[in-house]
Amino acid sequence: MKKTHKPILVASVGIGLLLSSCDNDKFPEKEIVVKDNVSFALDIQPILTLECATCHNPSEAEPDLREGFAYESLMNLEEGAIVPGNAEGSELVEMLEWAEGVDNPMPTAGRMSPLKIALIKKWIDEGARNN
Ligand code: HEC
């Protein structure tokens, strides 16, 4: 009978370690592989429509991120918000990553999925084109 306790203990310690190793705030960004040629219309706008335009529309908050308006709104953000070709240097990315010290992390309710953030970063790295 005693024998049976050991594996259970080992298993529960293992699960505990597994859980605690997941219990950190870091995104496994490096593991996310995003396709090349991200499309603003097909890949980015749907994210903005779903995650942002509920608030970012003329009756609530600027910039207007609805389909048909978002690209121009994003290009008109203050300098440094989006640096084409340089996602890491773009303040919008810091907002989306909820980076420490950011005044307005977006979306306000919580970080988007790492894949959505990775797509937006790739789009910026590829030149933030209206493609
Ligand atoms: C629940 C509502 C809500 C959602 C969802 C939301 N925002 Fe916002 N956002 C706001 C509000 C309100 C402000 C104005 C904040 C302020 O001025 O203090 C704002 C401000 C901003 C600004 C301007 C920040 C500045 O410093 O001037 C940007 C850019 C922005 N949001 C981008 C986004 C993006 C991109 C998304 C989706 C990924 C998003 N937001 C989702 C409510 C929202």
**Residue 119 structure tokens:** 């797509």
**Pocket flag, ligand 1, residue 63 (CB < 6 Å):** yes
Question: Which residue lies with its CA nearest to atom 7 of ligand 1?
Answer: 107
Question: What tens digit of pLDDT does each residue of 12-33 get?
Answer: 554 544 444 444 555 554 678 8
Q: What's the gap in Å between 55 CA and the centre of ligand 1?
A: 7
Q: Name the pTM for this structure.
A: 0.82
Cβ atoms 44, 120 nearer than 8 A: yes
**Pocket flag, ligand 1, residue 20 (CB < 6 Å):** no
Question: What tens digit of pLDDT does each residue of 86-104 get?
Answer: 999 999 999 999 999 999 9
